[in-house]
Structure 1
Amino acid sequence: MGRLKNKVAVITGGCSGIGLGAVEVFVAQGAKVFVGDIDDEAGAALAARFDGAVAYQHCDVMDERQIEALMSGAVARFGGLDILFNNAGAGGTPSRMEDMTGEGWDQTQNLLLRSVALGIRYAIPHMKARGGGSIVNTASIAGTQAGYGPIAYSVAKAGVIHLTRVAAADLARDRIRVNAICPGLILTNIFTPPDRVPAGMAGMVKQTMAQSAPNTQPIEKPGLPEDIAHAALFFASDESAFVTGTHLMVDGGLFVGPRNSWDPEMRAERQRLADERLAAFEAAQAK
């Protein structure tokens, strides 16, 4: 308890999913949290739920002026800014390269990469006024390898990872640390966008994902928003005072190695085939 005592945090996309998980964890650890989102009804409910510890301001991260206003709003409401969690986002355009449009590409990059850059930019003066701070960016495993997200999304998240490095270098002497988290398969609404998944199917999709987790990654449990929130807490707190410019894979071990390195059934099958080959060889030698 109290790892963020007397700290002020801004969390974008804080009304659902990973952002909401971070709000809950940060408040439990003593922070005052200023939430930016476009779901005003959920934002009002969240502020009421954490009366005094959470405040909400409408913020569409596609709008530079609203990002600037969010940072200033946190200072006006809580007296300063120590932590920024650039988390807001969505899946962006699902198009393959042969179907990509400039509009879809730009919309995705603006939502997932430009917004992070501008969040950092407008947090800087307020963090300098506090003597430093911590910025945490939500990237993705899709930014490190093909096959884990749509193309435009994956490129944007790769950009977030590199932006994290160069921003960390640029801001280090201002005592502002910048780090990123690369979530794996986390049960959030990003996999069930309302424009592509009927409302009645969303629960079924998440249930299927939860059931398939043991066959997808080494750690059998499904990834949950709080798994990412606790990683964000580490980066936000003084416990990571010697850490900057890095990205943390929070993926259930998905990238530790090929399936045969962790799946007991596959290892057993490989051993069975090896035993059969040895037996066949020995039988042939005995003739």
Structure 2
Amino acid sequence: MQLTGKTAIVTGGASGFGAGIVQAFVAQGARVMIADINGKAATALAAQIGAQAIAQQVDVANGSSVNAMAEAAIAAFGHVDILVNNAGVTHMPTPLEDVSEDEFDRVLNVNVKSVYLTARALVPHMKSRASGAILNIASTAGLSPRPNLNWYNASKGWMITATKTMAVELAPKGLRVNALCPVAGETPLLKSFMGEDTPEMRARFLSTIPIGRFSTPDDMGSAAAFLCSDAASMITGVALEVDGGRCI
């Protein structure tokens, strides 16, 4: 129960890795806001979990929506100890010059601008308490890019650099900032990463992962719970690979 007494916001928390992180946090004793653009899914998961979870519909690329999320969390919990920037999107595997401007803007707004917006909304609150943990869900794509996911790769590379610069600036204020870098997992984005979800494509993808399986929501939840707990109080600015050896 290493998160007993802690409060957290998990964006994109209604499905995939986000739901795994929510469930791990709750299992470790935290109270969690499940923040997701799919408000119905967030509400359904919160109802399934019970009193330790609340739901909030949010568009992480919209400043007013992010501010409302932060205000709702503080009103419900009294304070926010942990922020997980998990919400993310990709474009389909495409030559870099063929990605549409709308797709490019969507990837950058959801994967990049959102980190700025949540920081603007919640870092002052955390500074006022001289305490807080921020976890950015990046990707092995930001460390070892694959062809044809260029702008997604770049957005996750940005997130890793943002994590490190946030960490070095905020450490004297009592805040820690880390990132997780999963390999692709059994989430709604898997088909987008592979282009098509077939046994052949899965076998080809899995052949690049030494452990021989995809990342799971449980893998991400366990790693996230540790990095956001007091057990990791000396760890900041880390981009932890949760990838079965993919980046070796």
TM-score (norm 1): 0.80
C-alpha deviations, 1:174-200, integer Å up to 9, x for none? Answer: 11100001111211111235xx87xxx
Q: Counterpart in 2 of 1:78?
A: 77
Give the conservation status (yes or no) of the 8 Å contact 1:142–1:148.
no
Specify whether residues 206 and 28 from structure 1 end up closer, same or farther in structure 2 by C-alpha distance, changes over 3 A only: farther
Q: Counterpart in 2 of 1:172?
A: 171
Give the conservation status (yes or no) of the 8 Å contact 2:82–2:132.
yes
The Cα shift of 1:51 comes to: 1.8
Of 228, 239, 254, the residue aligned with 2:246 is 254
Paired residues, what number? Answer: 246
Specify whether residues 97 and 58 from structure 1 end up closer, same or farther in structure 2 by C-alpha distance, changes over 3 A only: same
Q: How does 1:1-287 map to 2 (within 5 A)?
A: 2-92=1-91, 94-147=93-146, 150-192=149-191, 205=197, 215-256=207-248
User: What is the alpha-carbon distance in structure 2 between the residues aligned to residue 227 and residue 154 of structure 1?
Assistant: 21
The Cα shift of 1:214 comes to: 5.8
C-alpha deviations, 1:107-162, integer Å up to 9, x for none? Answer: 21111011012112211122123331100001111111221661110100000000
The Cα shift of 1:105 comes to: 2.0
User: What is the alpha-carbon distance in structure 1 between the residues aligned to residue 48 and residue 241 of structure 2?
Assistant: 31
Give the conservation status (yes or no) of the 8 Å contact 1:93–1:104.
no
User: What is the alpha-carbon distance in structure 2 between the residues aligned to residue 68 and residue 209 of structure 1?
Assistant: 40
Give the conservation status (yes or no) of the 8 Å contact 2:180–2:242.
yes
Query: Mind listing any 5+ residue stretches in structure 2 that lack a counterpart?
Result: none
Specify whether residues 223 and 163 from structure 1 end up closer, same or farther in structure 2 by C-alpha distance, changes over 3 A only: same
* Off by >6 Å, runs of 4+ in structure 1: 206-210
Specify whether residues 148 and 55 from structure 1 end up closer, same or farther in structure 2 by C-alpha distance, changes over 3 A only: farther
User: What is the alpha-carbon distance in structure 1 between the residues aligned to residue 185 and residue 80 of structure 2?
Assistant: 28
Which of 76-85 and 118-127 deviates more? 118-127
Per the alignment, in what secondary structure is the counterpart of residue 231 of structure 1? helix
Specify which structure has the higher proportion of helix.
1
Aligned-residue identity in percent? 38
CA RMSD of aligned residues (A): 2.0
User: What is the alpha-carbon distance in structure 2 between the residues aligned to residue 160 and residue 116 of structure 1?
Assistant: 8
TM-score (norm 2): 0.92
User: What is the alpha-carbon distance in structure 2 between the residues aligned to residue 185 and residue 132 of structure 1?
Assistant: 32
The Cα shift of 1:101 comes to: 3.7
Query: Mind listing any 5+ residue stretches in structure 1 that lack a counterpart?
Result: 198-204, 257-287
Give the conservation status (yes or no) of the 8 Å contact 1:89–1:111.
yes
The one-letter amino acid of 1:245's match is: G
Specify whether residues 218 and 37 from structure 1 end up closer, same or farther in structure 2 by C-alpha distance, changes over 3 A only: same
User: What is the alpha-carbon distance in structure 1 between the residues aligned to residue 156 and residue 204 of structure 2?
Assistant: 25
